[in-house]
Structure 1
Amino acid sequence: MDTMIELPAMRRSAELAPNTADADSRTVEVIWSAGARVRRSTLFGESYDEELSLDPAHVRLDRLNAGAPFLKVHEIDTLDAVIGSVVPGSARIENGRGIAQVRISERADVEPIWRDIQAGHIRAVSIGYQVHRFDISKPDGGRELWRAVDWTPFEISAVPVGADPAAGFRAKGEHHDCVLHRRDAETSEGASPMTDKTTPAAPADDTPDTAATEEITMPDDKTGAPEAQTRAAETRCQPKAPKPEAPDTEVIATRAREAERDRVSTIYDLAGRLNLERSFAEDLVKRGTDIDEARRLILDQVAAKSDETRTFPHVSIPLGGRDERITRRDAVANALLHRYSPTLFQLEDAARQYRGMTLLELARESLGNAGVNTRGLSRDEVATRALHSTSDFPEILSVVTNKTLRQAYEAYPRTFMLFCRQVLATDFKAMHRVQLGEAPQLLEVGESGEFKRGTLGESKESYKVKTYGRVVAITRQTLINDDLDAFTRIPAMYGNSIAQLESDVVWGIITANPAMSDGNALFHATHKNLAGTGAALAVDAVGAARAAMARQTGLDKKTVLNIRPAFLIVPAALELKAEQMVAQNLVPAATSSVVPQSIRTLTPISEPRLDAASATAWYLAASPNQIDTIEYAYLEGQQGAYIETRNGFDVDGVEIKCRLDFGAKAIDWRGLYKNPGA
């Protein structure tokens, strides 16, 4: 019995033979079919086996031999998807295998694909074909076998991973007629059998006939979910059924039980095969939902699940655990950074193919990788689309700006970090820092005596993190003019500016001499950290300052803290003098010229910001590990310079926002000492 149904184009995995690649003719051999038997699935019927006959009389090679297209991942809606074609006349069947020769296009955007084919990286291809006639048989105890005895291969595609042959129909598209010939069925007397190009014959009279219906359901190409509608082909090959006699009550009850069992088993079977929750099927059974309504609800549930988790027929497996798009983006960014500073950013192997390309050429490349056809677009249109599209070009610019800003920020000398302590703030509220005094001294405990309680003295300082920022716009004119400096030097200058701002805030505390929580200035005679009479930087003066720091007491004014300075801080005018003082004087000319070891252990810090306040004043500072001095804070998660980019709204281009969340405060005066100088 023959049945006419409609089928979409189908896909099957095939094999590329990279060892047959000819670099001169740009050709490579493809084994487009070996006729293997594969499993196909339907939604509301049993699965079946499909076999492609490779009898030369059963395969229509006209379309392949006419120069069928060699596509990129079965794309059929753009000319850029054509990356080659089948060499006319090369499609043939040899030793039970379908073989053809493919010639690769000479377009620039196809060149990377051709190189990967030659290197053997791309091996998987997939063919698209149409079946015009199936011979269907069913071995005893086995699945139905659908053997294609009239079919047409019409395209070959390069794919990252070969299509799973068991996945069924892989693409949505126009349908074509296909004849199903069942060899184990006989046409009934009086019925008209159907042939390849015929439709079912209608009954001669108006009496409804018994129609045999077959449903073939294809998984959706994008989500893998069944399509919402099924393709049904009806045959009217059955003779008219006689009018049944009225059944008795027992027959009616038996039929009802059988119908109920069929309804329940069908619902559970469908839900299980589509990986739906059993509770969903149980609810349908308990509600008495009929089979037609259950099918509709099951399809709705599958569609809802497919929206939550989308799957794709061709999966890209990143080499080395990295996505191809990220690898390409980093390579382009490295090429731009190397162009900006070859000494700071070494050119990586992956970035060599982008070396020498202008910004506009890279923008066109990014659009092409995103599937945007840039052929015929002006320079202005390319720049506009690259900055305002889903291509990775804005991300590339963001990587470049961030790295240049971070490099310049870290390279700027911030001298305060040696004697100050860094902390992280969780928010922008005021932070209260307790200035702990000395621990209470231990007292002797007599026999059977009790331990006496002591208290900690404390004083409180407070400050908070502030936000500093600026926005600069880079327009499409910058991209058209290939002005790389806008994406590199401007962020680098921002990096310097941020580091300078941090230094200004911290050193401003030293030069401004702000009031502490007790109402006295940071450097004050009451705090015993300010020399009464200024003295030039010399061994005697430094010795007197060291002694003053060692005699500092706790908040109880009694406990001696014995603070040891670790840093000698001077303005730029005294930098050479400070270095000479701490230098190792191996053979002093006189005893009076000997510099004590305690002074030579000081680390000199020269800061030009101190010259504006005084070119003669010098300072000593203790290590922050011994006692608090000045504390500086970043907002947690935003340490140091932070930059953001976005597509411009007020300007036609990209906006770069630079931000710093930073604050600083002198916590304790006892770790610092100042001498006004001569």
Structure 2
Amino acid sequence: METMIELPALRRAAELAPSTAEPESRTVEVVWSAGARVRRITLFGETYDEELSLDPDHVRLERLNAGAPFLKVHELTELDAVIGSVVPGSARIENGRGVALVRLSERAEVEPIWRDIQDGHIRAVSIGYQVHRFEVSKPEGGRELWRAVDWTPFEVSAVAVGADPAAGFRSHAPLHDCVLHRRHAPIATTGVSPMTDKTKSPAAKDADAKTPDETTETVETEEKTTVTEPKDGASETRAQTKSQQPAKPEPGTASQGEDAEALVTRARDAERDRVSTIYDLAGRLSLERGFAEDLVKRGVAIDEARRLILDQVAAKSEETRTFSQVSVPLGGRDERVTRRDAVASALLHRYSPTLFPLEDAARQYRGMTLLELARESLTDAGVNTRGLSRDEVATRALHTTSDFPEILSAVTNKTLRQAYEAYPRTFALFCRQVLATDFKAMHRVQLGEAPQLLEVGESGEFKRGTLGESKESYKVKTYGRVVAITRQVLINDDLDAFTRIPAMYGNSIAQLESDVVWGIITANPAMADGKALFHADHKNLAGSGAALAVDAVGSGRAAMAKQTGLDKKTVLNIRPAFLIVPASLELKAEQLVAQNLVPASSASVVPQSIRTLAPISEPRLDAASETAWYLAASPNQIDTIEYAYLEGQQGAYIETRNGFDVDGVEIKCRLDFGAKAIDWRGLYKNPGA
């Protein structure tokens, strides 16, 4: 029965013979295989023995004899790792071993390696090979034997420590097809054992060459006699091994030396199995070699070693956060993310070197045009861009799985966010921010004063009180715009489309928020009681206008302090914290609250209570009145104006997608925002002179 499977490249220990080193030709002989059996493990965790046949008809030597590379520790992807090559035509099978002559490079960095080889310090060599066909058999009661009868060695490597017997698959090597030829299950026969190709008689070899219907079965026991049994049930002995073991002695007649030798052999085999299994499991599960070496040195039994290995794997999994495509250890970063951020940093630095300093990882992308970066992203994604026109590069970069759209998205987001945060939003000082969970109307309760405590006599009851309240409601609204950036922008290397346009959007969003909040002050909207925010009945509007001065501010402070609760009785004693003025009164307000002015007379002294006010200048107030000024309390003392963002969408939000109606990228800018005056008692207005 034959099965087709996929295997990566394998590697196995080899031997370097320093005594054969020739300084003049810089050559040294290596034994790249002795055909010994090694223990391996399948992808499903089952162990098997692997044997490389050194029959000249079973080994493809073309790649070695064509000058295969002599590498430094199997570094298949680095040119600097090539430290020499196999001398063409020197690879051969000799006395049951694979032998080849290796010539080392004359590069200066290879010279120390060559000297260490001559001195015998570097003796370990490992080969990389691919198996195209295995013949699989399974002796009764034993492991499966996978015998490679068609395989190709393709590189030789110098290594610090020879590859362990259970060296695993190289994770980055490509897969190749391999045929598994499985023989029929063996027939149990007493007193028989397998034989190698070297011990088979011609008749046995002829039997191996027959068609599947004529195939004979090979069976093994502890004795060294080999028989073959045709499928018709007739059994005939074909051959015996060259070295027959002596007949089993009668009980009580075996010498102590023979018993000791058998015990030593069994102990040695068991130790080899233990060491091979531990290294094999640790390698397959990507554990550190030092961890496996510690288990081997401490003599940990196989069952206990399996448990400790599983514990180590579990501990490693807790240190790793898994994503759909890649596992990123905590504290580490995926290479694609790092490269993406580096390209974005280079573009941002090109837009504004002062706002966005150049990161070290971005220096390699400095000076590259948008089209060059697009081509780079396509190449990293595995797209061959050779021969593509500028238009084709731009189109594919915007409409394939490359990182370029995400890079542009990162650039637009950062420039928008920077401009949004840089715009002065003066309302944030005296307003309260909240988050809205949806777009439904939010009802804000205007709490009144707490009821006064009443004396409770001995054995008396506590009387209940209630809180006065009044409702204000508002909801979050959505504001947005979409702008398209076409492939022509990439071709023309118009970076402003990805930087200045989002920056202008960020500035515009911040302006919109300010327009909404300050619009409440200037529009003087009606509250839940049907009266305007600033109204005589609310006792927060001066009866007659007065210029900004100490006396006028003092009157406003007194009015706020006298504000009462909803019961019209309880005095709240509200203290203003901010002096709000239009731009035309900014200088006068700063002079009024300045801490370092020395008045000419005592009549001009500004009280300390007024100097503690923080001035806020807002030019939007000038459009309504250049003389009106306001006082506002801290939102920590009492509600004034409240503004809200949709939860998860705080501030400006930008989204990009590949355009459908336009040939390019669409940038959507959105703001979910709302604001409302919650309480009039924390605000005061004077129309001014």
2:640 aligned with 1:629 = yes
Deviates further, 620-629 or 642-651: 642-651
2:588 aligned with 1:589 = no
Checking the alignment, whether the CA contact within 8 Å between 1:40 and 1:168 is kept in structure 2 is no
Are the structure 2 counterparts of residues 465 and 495 from structure 1 closer, same or farther at C-alpha, using a change threshold of 3 Å?
same
Are the structure 2 counterparts of residues 328 and 172 from structure 1 closer, same or farther at C-alpha, using a change threshold of 3 Å?
closer
Q: Deviations over 1:347-389 (max 9, x none)?
A: 1111111111111111111111111111111111111111111
- Take 1:45 and 1:211, find their aligned partners in 2: how far apart are those partners? 30
Correspondent of 2:195 among 170, 183, 195: 183
Matched residue, 2:495: 484
Matched residue, 1:552: 563
Matched residue, 1:601: 612
Matched residue, 2:63: 63
Matched residue, 1:405: 416
- Take 2:667 and 2:350, find their aligned partners in 1: how far apart are those partners? 21
2:351 aligned with 1:360 = no
Matched residue, 1:454: 465
Matched residue, 2:9: 11
Q: Look up the equivalent residue of 2:50 and give its one-letter code.
A: E
Are the structure 2 counterparts of residues 391 and 182 from structure 1 closer, same or farther at C-alpha, using a change threshold of 3 Å?
farther
Give how far 1:14 is off: 7.6
Q: How does 1:244-255 map to 2 (within 5 A)?
A: none
Correspondent of 1:239 among 230, 251, 255: 230
Correspondent of 2:653 among 631, 642, 646: 642
Correspondent of 1:321 among 312, 332, 349: 332
Are the structure 2 counterparts of residues 179 and 557 from structure 1 closer, same or farther at C-alpha, using a change threshold of 3 Å?
closer
Q: Deviations over 1:403-422 (max 9, x none)?
A: 11111111110000000000
Q: Deviations over 1:657-677 (max 9, x none)?
A: 111110000000000000001
SS of equivalent residue, structure 1 residue 329: helix
Correspondent of 2:206 among 184, 189, 193: 193
Deviates further, 360-369 or 459-468: 360-369
2:503 aligned with 1:512 = no
Give how far 1:480 is off: 1.2
Are the structure 2 counterparts of residues 131 and 660 from structure 1 closer, same or farther at C-alpha, using a change threshold of 3 Å?
closer
SS of equivalent residue, structure 1 residue 321: coil
Give how far 1:329 is off: 1.0
Checking the alignment, whether the CA contact within 8 Å between 2:70 and 2:102 is kept in structure 1 is no
Q: How does 1:236-635 map to 2 (within 5 A)?
A: 239=230, 241=232, 320-635=331-646
Are the structure 2 counterparts of residues 348 and 97 from structure 1 closer, same or farther at C-alpha, using a change threshold of 3 Å?
farther
Q: Look up the equivalent residue of 2:382 and give its one-letter code.
A: G
Are the structure 2 counterparts of residues 150 and 450 from structure 1 closer, same or farther at C-alpha, using a change threshold of 3 Å?
closer
Deviates further, 580-589 or 504-513: 580-589
- Take 1:12 and 1:574, find their aligned partners in 2: how far apart are those partners? 82
Are the structure 2 counterparts of residues 167 and 633 from structure 1 closer, same or farther at C-alpha, using a change threshold of 3 Å?
same
Are the structure 2 counterparts of residues 57 and 565 from structure 1 closer, same or farther at C-alpha, using a change threshold of 3 Å?
same
Provide the alpha-carbon RMSD of the alignment.
Answer: 4.7
Correspondent of 1:664 among 675, 680, 686: 675
Deviates further, 140-149 or 583-592: 140-149
Give how far 1:483 is off: 1.0
Checking the alignment, whether the CA contact within 8 Å between 1:136 and 1:183 is kept in structure 2 is no
Structure 2 length-normalised TM: 0.67
Checking the alignment, whether the CA contact within 8 Å between 1:8 and 1:171 is kept in structure 2 is no
Q: Which runs of 5+ in 2 are unaligned?
A: 14-27, 106-124, 158-162, 184-192, 220-227, 236-280, 282-321
SS of equivalent residue, structure 1 residue 409: helix
Give how far 1:61 is off: 4.0
Checking the alignment, whether the CA contact within 8 Å between 1:531 and 1:676 is kept in structure 2 is yes
Give how far 1:441 is off: 1.4
Matched residue, 1:308: none
Matched residue, 1:39: 39
- Take 2:449 and 2:101, find their aligned partners in 1: how far apart are those partners? 90
SS of equivalent residue, structure 1 residue 656: strand
- Take 2:45 and 2:433, find their aligned partners in 1: how far apart are those partners? 69
Matched residue, 2:263: none
Q: Look up the equivalent residue of 1:129 and give its one-letter code.
A: Q
Matched residue, 1:153: 153
Structure 1 length-normalised TM: 0.68
- Take 2:169 and 2:454, find their aligned partners in 1: how far apart are those partners? 84
Are the structure 2 counterparts of residues 588 and 316 from structure 1 closer, same or farther at C-alpha, using a change threshold of 3 Å?
closer
- Take 2:665 and 2:31, find their aligned partners in 1: how far apart are those partners? 47
Q: Look up the equivalent residue of 1:241 and give its one-letter code.
A: D
SS of equivalent residue, structure 2 residue 9: strand
SS of equivalent residue, structure 1 residue 643: strand
Q: Deviations over 1:88-108 (max 9, x none)?
A: 6447789999896899xxxxx
Q: Deviations over 1:483-534 (max 9, x none)?
A: 1111111111111011000000000000000000001000000000001110
User: How many residues get paired?
Assistant: 534
- Take 2:44 and 2:635, find their aligned partners in 1: how far apart are those partners? 75
Checking the alignment, whether the CA contact within 8 Å between 1:571 and 1:618 is kept in structure 2 is yes
Give how far 1:64 is off: 3.4
Q: Deviations over 1:441-490 (max 9, x none)?
A: 12223344333222211111000000111111111111111111111111
SS of equivalent residue, structure 2 residue 206: coil
Q: Look up the equivalent residue of 1:556 and give its one-letter code.
A: D
- Take 1:630 and 1:474, find their aligned partners in 2: how far apart are those partners? 38
Are the structure 2 counterparts of residues 667 and 6 from structure 1 closer, same or farther at C-alpha, using a change threshold of 3 Å?
closer
- Take 2:200 and 2:341, find their aligned partners in 1: how far apart are those partners? 66
Q: Look up the equivalent residue of 1:456 and give its one-letter code.
A: L
Matched residue, 1:129: 130
Percent of aligned pairs sharing the same letter: 74
Are the structure 2 counterparts of residues 201 and 466 from structure 1 closer, same or farther at C-alpha, using a change threshold of 3 Å?
closer
Matched residue, 1:264: none
2:687 aligned with 1:676 = yes
Are the structure 2 counterparts of residues 177 and 444 from structure 1 closer, same or farther at C-alpha, using a change threshold of 3 Å?
closer
Q: Look up the equivalent residue of 1:183 and give its one-letter code.
A: M
Q: How does 1:76-115 map to 2 (within 5 A)?
A: 89-90=86-87
